[in-house]
Amino acid sequence: MRLSQLEADLKSRARAAFSLDEAAMAGFALAAPPPHITADASVAWPISGAKLLRKPPLKIAEELKNALSSDVEAEAVPPGFVNLKFRDSFLFAALKELLESPDCFKRPEYAGEKINLEFVSANPTGPMHLASGRGATLGDSLARILRTLGAEVSTEFYVNNVGRQVELLGLSLKARFENKELPADGYQGEYLKDLAATLPKEAAAWSEKQFSEHAVTEMLKLHRADMKAFGVDFDRWFLESELHAAGGPAKALATLKERGMVYEKDSAVWFGAATELESDDKDRVLVKSDGRNTYFLNDIAYHLDKLSRGFTRLIDILGADHHGYVPRMEAAVGALAAKKDAFKVIIHQQVALKRGTEIVKMSKRAGDFIPLKELTEEVGADACRFFFASRSPNTHLNFDVDLAKKKSNENPVYYVQYVHARICSIFANAAEKGVDPAAGFDEAKVVINPEERALMMKLLWLEKTLLDCARDNSPHHLTTYLSELSALFHSFYVQHKVLVPENKEVSAYRLFLLKAVNNVIARGLFLLGVSAPERM
């Protein structure tokens, strides 16, 4: 039985005890108690339910304790908490399910969800930079977590290979090839010099369009290679040119007109934001007075294409320079989907690179930036992904290069990976000594010490951690969880022997516990896109 199942059972028992409907029990949830409390979990619902039941919180806590005591050991404490201690049999059953059921974290609310998760979508105008790495980490890890919870997730990279920026890229490459001055607002990076040096002599007769197409093709090769090295494999690379070839913008405009969401003014076509699903603060131009489509219409067309493919939820992960994009797209896509929560934009903040005590300043247009490939090669993809995942997307991230390269417990990814490697070595040692790691033990005879119980409870909280990641659209809860689990393992390991020659039952029990720890460490690292080495 998982922790969520026990929570549901306790909630049902509490609801019956107080004769309340489901809505009244919405705030009932198990929470980890503060460190100084020896309980396994705590329920704060009596405090929030005091107004509803018109009773003092502590009185409600006493009544709740009596209602729950047949399933768990319960204690009511001021000002209105109920602290719970789970039965040992429940802990063992939960750990067995964790080890034996790969799908144990699937949740009914995610069944049938078909999610399109678009991320990175870097313009093909240069090598990927650090912000691309943060977006890739966020998107890929979130996709893995949502799949673990039971959703069907398709990952997508949208390639803006149409428009002025692509034209400028081609003009910049042409200028490099001809050793001429770059165009105004052109791209100055060294990568264009390198690319120009590989062009054939026949390029002298190329059109500007051919330079643009060649530059985009080569940049996409680099992007694909960068993502492969970073452990990210997209289900689809969607070219904007495909959208135009299929008449996507015209179809989108026709759909908006059919639904009465557009109007004409000053020879332009506008999106009317006055809808029930309104989240924008003003109307936006779709087609300019000269007949050219805006990026807004093209983006609407792209998202309408996603909806036409049967996705029930769309998630876009974008960089910090897209804040103004969110309200208008939420209004448009929400209106098209007729469902406000069908579309979510996650904005992640920028990444600053820290070397020693200095912050490296970067500018992509000026060509002064650190490519993602360079950082990945210097510190490794594991450190990159763990560090990028360690902060909420809402916060700025200072990437400490020196820390990421350390082979010590100061480095958080090393600290977590070391636990996996250490446990693997314990099992290897057991095999050398002829100890069967699959040997059974009598659960009724096991006396669980505080360090073991802390490990068990932390393992059970993985499910809630994944739900927190899905709720907040961020894997940072998982990096924290793995670091805390690793600390609990170290606390256990320095105080207790795993292999106890004089007591095979204890050895078998502790190997069972460490197998569960290793399983969760490996699973958590996989969800972050980080390896779980067996030796370090």
pLDDT tens-place string over residues 75-116: 999 999 999 999 999 999 999 999 999 899 999 999 999 999
Task: Report if residue 515 sits inside a domain.
Answer: yes
Q: How far apart are CA 250 and CA 268, in angstroms?
A: 15
With 90 as the cut, is the pLDDT of residue 237 above it?
A: yes
Give the pLDDT confidence score for residue 438 in this predicted structure.
84
> Is residue 72 within 8 Å of residue 30, measured between CB atoms?
no
> Is residue 401 within 8 Å of residue 377, measured between CB atoms?
no
The whole-number average pLDDT for the span 473-502 is 96
Structure tokens at 422: 């250490």
What's the DSSP call for residue 494? H
Domain at 57, CATH number: 3.30.1360.70
Q: Quick one: pLDDT band at residue 154, thresholds 50, 70, 90?
A: very high
Task: Report if residue 190 sits inside a domain.
Answer: no
* C-alpha distance across the termini of the chain, in Å: 34
Give the pLDDT confidence score for residue 230 in this predicted structure.
97
**Average confidence score pLDDT of the chain:** 92
**Could you report the per-residue pLDDT of 246-292, keeping only the tens digit for each?**
999 999 999 999 988 899 989 999 988 544 444 444 668 999 999 99
The 3-state secondary structure of 145-187, one letter per residue: HHHHCCCEEEEEEEECCCCHHHHHHHHHHHHHHCCCCCCCCCC
Q: Say whether the peptide bond before residue 124 is cis (omega within 30 degrees of 0).
A: no
Higher pLDDT, 338 or 343: 343
Last residue of a domain, one of 23, 54, 86: 86
Give the pLDDT confidence score for residue 277 in this predicted structure.
42
> Is residue 459 within 8 Å of residue 516, measured between CB atoms?
yes
Task: Report if residue 116 sits inside a domain.
Answer: no
Task: Report if residue 466 sits inside a domain.
Answer: yes
Structure tokens at 523: 């699973």
Last residue of a domain, one of 59, 86, 113: 86
The whole-number average pLDDT for the span 376-387 is 97
Give the pLDDT confidence score for residue 363 in this predicted structure.
52
Give the pLDDT confidence score for residue 417 in this predicted structure.
98
> Is residue 173 within 8 Å of residue 183, measured between CB atoms?
no
Task: Report if residue 61 sits inside a domain.
Answer: yes
Last residue of a domain, one of 86, 111, 144: 86
Task: Report if residue 488 sits inside a domain.
Answer: yes
The whole-number average pLDDT for the span 394-406 is 95
Give the pLDDT confidence score for residue 361 in this predicted structure.
66
Residues spanned by the domain of 11: 3-86
Task: Report if residue 155 sits inside a domain.
Answer: no
Domain at 424, CATH number: 1.10.730.10
Task: Report if residue 45 sits inside a domain.
Answer: yes
With 90 as the cut, is the pLDDT of residue 369 above it?
A: no
Give the pLDDT confidence score for residue 175 in this predicted structure.
96
The whole-number average pLDDT for the span 383-403 is 96
Give the pLDDT confidence score for residue 437 in this predicted structure.
83
Q: Quick one: pLDDT band at residue 34, thresholds 50, 70, 90?
A: confident
With 80 as the cut, is the pLDDT of residue 414 above it?
A: yes
**Could you report the per-residue pLDDT of 419-460, keeping only the tens digit for each?**
999 999 999 999 999 898 888 899 999 999 999 999 999 999
> Is residue 331 within 8 Å of residue 302, measured between CB atoms?
no
Q: How many domains does the chain have?
A: 2
